[in-house]
Amino acid sequence: MNHLRLFILTLCLLGLTVAPAQVEPLGPNAQISVITCGPGTDLYAQFGHSAFRVRDPDSGIDWVYNYGTFDFDTPNFYMKFARGKLQYALSRSTFAAFLYTYQLESRWVREQLLGLDPGQRMALFRFLEENNRPENRYYQYDFLYENCATKIPEVLTDVLGTNLVLDPGFASGGESFRDLIQQNLQSNTWSSLGIDLALGAVVDRVAEPYEYRFLPENVRLLIQNTTLDGQPLSPRERVILDLPNPKYELYLTATPLFWCLLLLVFTATISWIDYRNGSRSRLLDFLLFLLTGLAGLLIGFLWFFTDHTSTVWNFNILWAFPVNIALAFVLLKDQRPDPRLQGYLIGLLALIGCCLLLWATGLQEFHPIVSVIWAALALRYLLLLQQLRRAKPLKRPQ
């Protein structure tokens, strides 16, 4: 798999560095199509992929125009990627190299041939070539609104104009962006949990039918329903690689539900022992407060310090509270912490209650597995609160 990723990286870099050739007229047998690729097993590939293909047997052209690439040589690459400031780009590669990648990854590939006349084909080809120029190929990526899939109908509309009628009739309606994202993920996986934790309440609004196009498979369905001059835009679809969607082998001990339930059982057991013995496991408190605090810092970073539009207003920060980091070290150091921390613990319990209220009202959906974490935290907060109430107040220094 490492060799595969190296190959993909090399392919992307080559695509970014190929200088656009002089745009020569396409032959009478030229064909332009939309390529849709199925999901892969890696997280970045689980939503599929979309691209344009231009094939002209008379001139030997068989190129793929891919809006889903980026330049690894970009200065401060990882920081820009994390902050949502990394620009994606259009790249061009041979169809053979493109297809080989998906053969290695065992992902299906389908092609929708576009029913364009010679003038429309040439206009679209010129547009793609012009877009592939170094000064034009970069754009600001956004997972929901500007990606490899949304670029397909965007480009077609720019080139073909009002004669093109995009019909999102395939969209069932009533589904939020979060629902559409999770449909491409397996629920009891770390990727599903992690993405849900990172996304804010903005993705819980109901998506308009035309907004379904951020997913490649939905773009394929959109193309099926689209007409040009009253005729189907894609009169023919063919399968290039006929492969099933990948099957994920989930082992119980590798799932987040297993580990969260283990955390709950462990927390409940240690808390019961502490309650019976009048003691407190400082290490357990340290780990719970430290981990929730660090998670809160990450959520806050994605919300306030990045350009990601889908990570704002993320109320997971209410239970993954960043201030917990400071309290973690207090609880590790002092066997008998200051009883005045009771108010803080009551506040933490109230914040978990707010999350439940937000969930019940539909203002933000939370991953079901998070409720197990809430139970473990609430149990520990209640024990600490009970111990602090029994403790004598610390004397103020004279």
Q: What would the DSSP string read from start to end of 21-48?
A: PP-PPPPTT-EEEEEEE---SSGGGTT-
- Measure the CA–CA gap between 197 and 189, rounded to whole angstroms: 12
* 3-state SS assignment for residue 205: coil
Helix or strand run (H / E) with residue 64 = strand 61-69
pTM to 2 decimals? 0.86
Average pLDDT on 251-270 reads 95
8 Å CB contact between 199 and 181: yes
- The answer to whether residue 258 scores a pLDDT higher than 90 is yes
- Measure the CA–CA gap between 147 and 145, rounded to whole angstroms: 7
pLDDT digits (tens, 9 = 90+) for 276-311: 998 899 999 999 999 999 999 999 999 999 989 999
* Neighbouring-strand partners of residue 142: 146
Helix or strand run (H / E) with residue 371 = helix 370-390
- Measure the CA–CA gap between 342 and 385, rounded to whole angstroms: 6
Q: Could you give phi then psi for residue 323, rounded to 5 degrees?
A: -65, -15
8 Å CB contact between 131 and 97: no
For 115, other C-beta atoms within 10 Å of its C-beta total 17
8 Å CB contact between 80 and 86: yes
* pLDDT recorded at residue 173: 81
Q: Which two tokens stand for residue 255?
A: 């799932």
Q: What is the assigned CATH class of domain 2-171+207-241?
A: alpha beta
For 2, other C-beta atoms within 10 Å of its C-beta total 6
Q: Which of 75-84, 99-108, 230-239 shows the lowest mean pLDDT across its residues?
A: 75-84
- The answer to whether residue 152 scores a pLDDT higher than 60 is yes
pLDDT digits (tens, 9 = 90+) for 154-190: 999 999 999 999 999 999 888 999 999 999 998 899 9
Q: In the chain, which residues fall in CATH 3.90.1720?
A: 2-171+207-241
Q: How far is CA 335 from the centre of its chain?
A: 42
* pLDDT recorded at residue 22: 62
* pLDDT recorded at residue 85: 76
pLDDT digits (tens, 9 = 90+) for 335-354: 777 788 999 999 999 999 99
Q: Which of 27-31, 260-264, 296-300, 330-334 shows the lowest mean pLDDT across its residues?
A: 330-334
* Nearest in space to 124 (alpha carbons), one of 159, 149, 93, 91: 159
Average pLDDT on 12-38 reads 73
For 88, other C-beta atoms within 10 Å of its C-beta total 21
8 Å CB contact between 143 and 214: yes
Q: Which two tokens stand for residue 179?
A: 């629902």
Tell me the pLDDT of the chain averaged across its residues. Answer: 89
- Measure the CA–CA gap between 131 and 20, rounded to whole angstroms: 9
* pLDDT recorded at residue 77: 65
- Measure the CA–CA gap between 236 and 224, rounded to whole angstroms: 9
